[in-house]
A and B are shown apart, each in its own frame.
Chain A
Amino acid sequence: MSKFQVGEEVRIKDTYFEGHHRTTEYVKGKSGKIIRFFGSYENPEILAYGGDGKPFQDLYWVQFNLNDLWEHKPGEKKDKLNIEIYDHWIEAL
């Protein structure tokens, strides 16, 4: 059973992280919505340094309103951005 459900509003943790990780800076601290559950995958933060990638992390597709990500609001109102985020980077709202 995954921790977050499709449709749930969530926030990406705004955590400084020294080292390889796949959570992009531009979504940290931003709120979006879970739109798909992809399954469990090796943790790249461990894998990148020769580790076994365990424990596996649940991976979600998180969708943001494009204009919520940038102060300059580059998109049309309905434009979106989808990005893959691992469980341990997501917090409930």
Chain B
Amino acid sequence: MSDNHHGSGHHHNHPHDNESPYSHDLSSHNARMKSDEAYMEDKVVPVEHDLDYFQVRVVGLLNLLREKGIVTTDEMRRTVEDIYAQTPTTGARVVARAWVDDEFKERLLADAHSACGEMEIDIEASSVTKLIVVENTESLHYMVVCTLCSCYPRVLLGQPPTWYKSFPYRSKAVTDPRGALLDLGYTPPEDIELVVIDSNADCRYLVIPRRPDGTDGLSEEALARLVTRDSMIGVADALTPEEYEKVAFD
């Protein structure tokens, strides 16, 4: 990204960039963070007019933490880098292993921490207090919501999607879960017992989706590619090989 100083000519210089570089999210903000030295030389960053209330608070807090020497810009940058390095690929690896190895699956369902440890995934070192894995079957379908905030197994799935944090999903998932699934474009199999998990306290949940038909000969690696983020939240099925081909090569 450029390192211009957000002067008054900024928008004129970038006719296609109608929004402030600070208006998107924290990642674009962090991409623009300066070194501590540069920050000290240029303390006043004239961007407040582009920020909403909470963004101003965040910037204010970051500045205070920096000024007081509690955290450095580099530490914050590295932390944000670590946060965005977490992706659903990790959860998909775990699911694929469970699909091909029944004994692993039993260990995963009984004690997810030690089973993930077998795959060099350290749950204890993450912010997850207790990981619980549940399995969707022909007769039972789990879906996960956090009605109180946005609890989510980030070490396995990365950052939660915006809809997961939204009020409509958080309320409808418990007051009308089948309607909430329909809103997301998903109709669960007929006659299935639906179990809504409200992730309200210390546990974080990973759903093992049903293994799609026609995947008997596939390798663990190929299976992992069929495991989408949303299927591990329980608001979708895993992709069939045909669906994957369509998504990947369209």
Contact = CB atoms under 8 A, between A and B. Distances in A.
Interface stretch (B1-9, B158-166, B175-183, B238-246): B175-183
Main secondary structure of the interface of B (DSSP, over half): mixed
B203 interface: yes
A27 to B, nearest CB: 8
Interface string A46-63: 000000000000010101
B200 A76 contact: no
Given A38-B130, A66-B196, A75-B194, A84 B203 contact: yes
B202 interface: yes
B202 A38 contact: yes
B197 interface: yes
B202 to A, nearest CB: 5
B201 A41 contact: yes
B129 A41 contact: yes
Which of B148, B174, B193, B199 is most buried by chain A, counting CB atoms within 10 A of its CB? B174
B183 to A, nearest CB: 13
A80 B194 contact: yes
A78 B191 CA distance: 9
Interface in A22-37: 22-24, 26
Given A79-B177, A81-B174, A41 B194 contact: no
Interface string B184-226: 0000000001111111111100000000000000000000000
B147 interface: yes
A84 B199 CA distance: 7
A82 B195 CA distance: 7
Interface of A: 22-24, 26, 38-39, 41, 44, 59, 61, 63, 66, 69-70, 72, 74-76, 78-86
Interface of B: 129-130, 132, 147-148, 174-179, 193-203
For the complex of A and B, 3 pairs with smallest distance between CB atoms: A84-B201, A83-B198, A74-B176
18 contacts: A23-B200, A24-B147, A24-B198, A41-B201, A44-B201, A59-B201, A63-B195, A66-B177, A70-B175, A75-B177, A76-B178, A76-B194, A79-B195, A80-B193, A80-B196, A82-B195, A82-B197, A85-B201
